[in-house]
Amino acid sequence: MALRPSYYLTTAITYPNGEPHIGHAYEYISADVMARFKRLDGFDVRFLTGTDEHGQKVQQTAQREGLTPYELATRNALAIKRVDDEVLGVSYDRFIRTTDPDHYLASQAIWRRMVEAGDIYLDKYAGWYSVRDERFFADDETEVREDGQRYAAETGTPVTWTEEESYFFRLSAYQQKLLDLYSSHPEFAAPASRFNEVIRFVESGLEDLSISRTTFDWGVPVPKELTSGETDLDHVMYVWVDALTNYLTGVGFPDTDSEEFQRRWPADLHIIGKDISRFHCIFWPAFLMSAGLELPRRVMIHGFLHNAGEKMSKSVGNVVAPAAWTQTYGLDAVRFFLLREFPYGQDGSYTHDAVVGRKNSDLANNLGNLAQRSLSMIAKNCAGAIPEPGELRQADTEILQQADSLLEVSREAYQGQQFHRALERTWFALGEANAYFADQAPWQLKKTDEARMRTVLYVTAEVLRRVALLIQPVMPGSATQLLDALGVAPGGDAGATNASNTGPRAFAAFAQKLAPGTPISKPQPIFPRHE
Ligand code: ME8
């Protein structure tokens, strides 16, 4: 059997200096939806997520809490993993921690390659550093505010003056190579507005980057044998050097000859938030070019999630824990809301009313009611089995074609991570299906033309089957329930029944049809209203 094509995607790795909030959940869920879509569409997916445990930020939080950095990181990494596993249903393949032993080896190996390329040299760093952003700032990127403190102008975080011996990466040597990458691969990063910001930044000139620290020690050590004796100090890697390298560790680097690495690298997709686009679109490809490794195919930059238009912050007290939401609205409604409400790539905002609105109108009314009404009629009037359709009329073929086109529409939308577009088009088709059901009025046909009633119910069930297949990545639980109710067997063999069989159905099933005579299960409300 031919090997299924590989698809390797990643999320950013979270700093484990606190509990994850709904903004982090937004990223995990969107990556999960992408991973599930690709799996159902026949790809052999590898999905990496995890925690970014080194650096001053984690070290300082640990100090405040009276823990070692590793103790703090472990406690919070487990909390994040629990949210993935138990709250959000994230189907990752590996939860990487940058304190994992294989990650130290990978980080030291990429460092060695950059040394061998002649891109690393020793100097002294003098400038501003924001611990909260784990990022260096030039003088003109900072400002003194009313309180007399100095802040990074772009991110608004406090900066402190830092002067220390440091290794530098010759980022300046990569300006033209990066610009060439951007022009030859316009799909390298998206959305265009954020990609353009990156391009303009690179065009304005790049300075070499400080990539090691000597004034604290919570990081991956730079091996002494790679420092050719010119320093007596102990250097640890700048946290972003090791953090970005996690994407390589996750597929077996430094063993570049391994089957895993050969098959998986380069990554197909890095999903990240808008605050870290420079690290992923500038530093990361430059490191990889220096190390002689292939570049990721795409960086998708999502926007930020705000609470009723306001930035979430601990001091404002408007930070939402993922579990609070899933308990209130249900996991699938939360997943649906986050991907449907605003375009992926743009900032978005949530309010209780907005989530309830989506849940009640899109899920309970448009999808839930149609499923409930048609399945109840089939249960009652067709002996509880998918009816035999008669000859199809124009209205029937039109709605079936609409539903049919959704697979290609969704594929194209997912290719560019335009999740909202796939859902928008699916719900447009559902709107048409509701209109069809109302126009055809099978409850009246029951009295006048039972054969026609059976055709209408068959067509409606068939539209629902296609919709249910395609919404599995977004709402795995409810979509499975709906497919179970329709008697669609796992693995895509629509028609065969086995009540105990339940689970994901591959998109290969799209081309099939419901088999008349297949028993349906007793209709249960799958998309309840929010009361
Ligand atoms: O940046 N809405 O970690 P992090 C949407 N360790 N996304 C948000 C968000 C919000 N309100 N707040 C944060 C780091 N994010 C680094 C990454 S990758 C090699 C290293 C996103 O814990 C943020 O943009 O600060 C990032 O993609 C992810 O959550 C982790 O953020």
Mean pLDDT by 10 residues, the chain (531 residues): 89 95 97 98 98 97 97 98 98 98 98 97 95 93 95 94 96 98 98 98 97 95 86 94 98 98 98 98 98 98 93 83 96 98 97 97 98 96 97 98 98 98 98 98 98 98 98 97 91 47 85 94 89 86
Q: How far apart are the first and last CA of the chain?
A: 50
Question: 136: phi > 0 → left, psi -120 to 50 → alpha, else beta; which?
Answer: beta
Alpha carbon distance 1, 3 (integer Å): 6
Residue with CA nearest ligand 1 atom 8: 23
For residue 459, the tally of other CB atoms under 10 A from its CB is 28
Cα 449 to chain center, whole Å?
A: 49
Start and end residues for every CATH 2.170.220.10 domain found in the chain:
119-226
For residue 254, the tally of other CB atoms under 10 A from its CB is 20
Residue 337: enclosing H or E segment and its boundaries?
helix 331-340
Q: Is 276 in the pocket of ligand 1 (CB under 6 A)?
A: yes
Hey, which residues does 124 pair with through a beta bridge? 165
Residue with CA nearest ligand 1 atom 21: 273
DSSP three-state, residue 270: strand
State in Å: Cα 20 to ligand 1 middle. Answer: 10
Which tokens go with 46? 């590898």
Whole-number pLDDT of residue 1: 55
State in Å: Cα 497 to ligand 1 middle. Answer: 44
Hey, which residues does 368 pair with through a beta bridge? none
Q: Is 26 in the pocket of ligand 1 (CB under 6 A)?
A: yes
Which tokens go with 255? 């063993």
* Buried b or exposed e, range 206-234, using 16+ CB within 10 angstroms: bebbbbbbbeeebbbebeeebbeeebeee
Specify the DSSP class assigned to residue 505: -
Q: Of 304, 7, 345, which is closest to residue 190 (Cα–Cα)? A: 345
Q: Is 305 in the pocket of ligand 1 (CB under 6 A)?
A: yes
Alpha carbon distance 497, 486 (integer Å): 10
Query: Residues near 146 by Cβ (< 8 Å), separated by ≥ 6?
Result: none
Alpha carbon distance 209, 197 (integer Å): 19
Hey, which residues does 123 pair with through a beta bridge? 166
Is 364-519 a domain of CATH 3.40.50.300?
A: no
Alpha carbon distance 9, 49 (integer Å): 9
Specify the DSSP class assigned to residue 367: I
Q: Is 52 in the pocket of ligand 1 (CB under 6 A)?
A: yes
Whole-number pLDDT of residue 171: 98
Q: Is 23 in the pocket of ligand 1 (CB under 6 A)?
A: yes
State in Å: Cα 271 to ligand 1 middle. Answer: 10
Counted residue by residue, the chain has a size of 531
Q: Is 272 in the pocket of ligand 1 (CB under 6 A)?
A: yes
Whole-number pLDDT of residue 24: 97
Q: Is 312 in the pocket of ligand 1 (CB under 6 A)?
A: yes
Q: Which residue has the tokens 């309180």?
A: 147
Fold of the domain spanning 6-112+240-351: Rossmann fold (3.40.50)
Is 119-226 a domain of CATH 2.170.220.10?
A: yes
Which of 276, 301, 350 most suits a substitution to test ligand 1, by most atoms within 8 Å of the C-beta? 276
Beta strands in 52-179 (DSSP E): 94-97, 120-130, 135-137, 142-144, 150-152, 160-169
Residue with CA nearest ligand 1 atom 11: 23
pTM score: 0.96
State in Å: Cα 14 to ligand 1 middle. Answer: 6
Whole-number pLDDT of residue 501: 52
For residue 470, the tally of other CB atoms under 10 A from its CB is 26
Cα 482 to chain center, whole Å?
A: 24
CA distances to 334, 367, 529 from 352, rounded to whole Å, are 11, 21, 14
Atom of ligand 1 nearest to the CA of 15: 22
Start and end residues for every CATH 1.10.730.10 domain found in the chain:
364-519
